[in-house]
Amino acid sequence: MPDELNVNRVPRSVWRSWSPQARHVFNTLYGFAMKNPDLMRHPGQLPPKPAHWKTLCWNAAWVAADAADRRVMTEVVENGQLKQVKRA
């Protein structure tokens, strides 16, 4: 997979920490979601404001990219204690 360009201006430190696959996930999901706001909208609901939709798309793409690199924190109960750990 060729290395993706940072066309959406993700902070450089994060962009460099993501694998090429995670970068591809971010660019693909963000671009697709931005063009398709009706996919997440209930038929009776008003369309989201552009700024709100942009934020939702950004956050979804970021979480997906982190998950592609398995860097998402997961809550685990161990010995009765709640801990956050990175997924293996």
Tens-digit pLDDT string for the chain (88 aa): 567 899 999 999 999 999 999 999 999 999 999 999 988 888 899 988 999 999 999 999 999 999 998 766 666 677 887 776 665 5
If one counts the domains in the chain, the total is 1
Residue 78 placed within a domain: yes
Q: How far apart are CA 31 and CA 77, in angstroms?
A: 37
Domain limits for position 81:
12-86
In a domain, 4, yes or no: no
Does residue 25 lie within any of the structural domains? yes
Examine residue 18 and state whether it is found in any structural domain, yes or no: yes
Q: Which two tokens stand for residue 46?
A: 């008003």
Q: What is the pLDDT of residue 70?
A: 78
pLDDT at 83: 73
Whether residue 77 is contained in a domain is answered as yes
